[in-house]
Amino acid sequence: MKTGNMTLRPYSIVHSVIYDEQQGKAIGVKVLDSETKEEIDFFAPVIFLNASTLGSTFILLNSVSKRFPNGLGNGSGELGHNLMDHQYRAGADGDFDGFEDKYYIGRRPNGFYIPRFRNIGKDKRTDFIRGFGYQGSASRENWMRGVKEMMIGEELKDAVTTPGGWTMGMTGFGECLPYHENQVSLSHDKKDAYGLPTLNVDAEWKENEKAMRKDMKADVRTIKKGKRLGDRTYKVHLDGYNQMDMITGKGPSNRQEIWYFGESELGAVRIGDYKYRFIDQPGGWLGDKTKPDVPYLINLRLDPFERTGWPDSGTKTGSQNFFQWFQYEFWRFVFVQQQVEKLIMTAVEFPPMQKGASFNLDAVKAKIEAARAAMGK
Ligand SMILES: Cc1cc2nc3c(=O)[nH]c(=O)nc-3n(C[C@H](O)[C@H](O)[C@H](O)COP(=O)(O)OP(=O)(O)OC[C@H]3O[C@@H](n4cnc5c(N)ncnc54)[C@H](O)[C@@H]3O)c2cc1C
């Protein structure tokens, strides 16, 4: 605009393109001033039509001439047909606890995107073609949640002036196919406020779009609930605790135990001050693994380097006096068995994703299989 070569003209409705029959080309546009209703023609050697999908189609359909009686460039009769829509609002959302002391500025937390995974590579659907992606984000509920609450007075004021809980949602995005019969056409019977014909939209979703939408919803439910692969339903086992109290200095940790796994092989567990090692690797990381008949038992407060004190090679390492301590503590083996059993029962609902090469508690492994068989899974 600084060069003076461009004029920005508001209130200008382009209603048709001027086609020159002699030259066989478009030479200008017809404009209706929306304020004064004045008709003005503009001419240019090159014309760009950027009035959006429907706006541009309207202008072309409305630009009739001897050469193009059904709209400019419409020799094929396809102008206005094959209208395509977009899938939207097929997804899921949910609330989650925690992070109450966190808020966001601007566009944080960032949204997420799951790119298309349907009908790509080995994934082949028979009920629909093409695919979709997911977009999602998390946010805190705002004052609008007060609308549905049965509150009044101070309680309501407090509630609506503080952020609500966290919610996370995701929704599928996928295009619909082009169908000849999905179309827009000009309605000369129904004119708009400027006396121009209106655009009649006649389109519907068909089987492909409906099947895709069904899958979009099913997949998002699967992501929420867990995934069935082969003959098993896999779920991600989140071994988590709400540690907000500990992080904010208001209370102790809610976690009493730490499980140590190598793939799906249970190697050790720490419960409170005590650690139970089911596997040893006396030669260090590159050495062989050994499996003791009874777990190594260590009080980490007394023996933070886990030397155990168990007498070995006579009394070359450890001490006979170790037994003075051990004789009062080895009841813990029954306790740890009970704890392991509890853990293992969670594997019924959350089966290990990889078969452990050597799940050292073989009896426990058999228990999982028996429990799963009993549940008919
Ligand atoms: C809510 C929303 C969110 C979106 N989010 C995204 C996104 O995140 N990412 C993304 O890639 N896309 C997004 N899109 C899509 C994207 O905005 C559009 O695809 C894109 O803007 C289309 O550009 P366009 O130039 O074809 O049309 P438009 O941007 O619609 O421009 C057309 C212009 O022509 C003017 N016009 C129309 N008719 C006439 C006429 N007869 N005479 C004179 N002027 C006329 C209109 O006033 C308008 O200014 C979103 C769209 C919406 C509605």
Mutate to test the pocket of ligand 1, among 31, 52, 192 (most ligand atoms within 8 A of CB): 52
Whole-angstrom distance, CA of residue 72 vs CA of residue 57: 9
SS3 label, residue 268: strand
Instruction: Tell whether the model's pLDDT for residue 99 goes beyond 50.
Output: yes
Mean pLDDT of the chain: 86
Residue 200, beta-bridge partner list: 185
Least confident range from 68-77, 203-212, 304-313, 360-369: namely 360-369
- pLDDT band for 66, please (50, 70, 90 cuts): very high
pLDDT score at 346: 78
Q: Are 344 and 368 in contact (CB under 8 A)?
A: yes
In the chain, the amino acid numbered 40 is I
Is the Cβ atom of 197 under 6 angstroms away from ligand 1?
no
Distance 90 CA to ligand 1 centre (A): 23
**pLDDT exceeds 60 at position 206:** yes
Structural domains in the chain, CATH included, are 1-76 (no CATH), 91-178+209-225 (no CATH), 244-374 (3.30.1120)
pTM of structure? 0.59
What is the pLDDT, as a whole number, of residue 357? 47
> What does the alpha-carbon distance between residue 25 and residue 17 come to, in Å, rounded to a whole number?
10
- Name which of 3-17, 210-224, 266-280, 354-368 the model is least confident about: 354-368
Please tell me which residue, 170 or 186, carries the higher pLDDT value. Answer: 186
pLDDT at residue 287, rounded to an integer: 82
Q: Which residue has tokens 């899974």?
A: 377
Question: Which range is least confidently modeled, 3-7, 49-53, 211-215, 304-308?
Answer: 304-308
Per-residue model confidence (pLDDT) at position 148: 67
Nearest-atom number in ligand 1 for the CA of 59 is 41
Residue 222 confidence (pLDDT) above 80: no
Task: Tell me, in angstroms, the distance from the centre of ligand 1 to residue 204's CA.
Answer: 22
Give 7 Cα–ligand 1 centroid separation in angstroms: 21
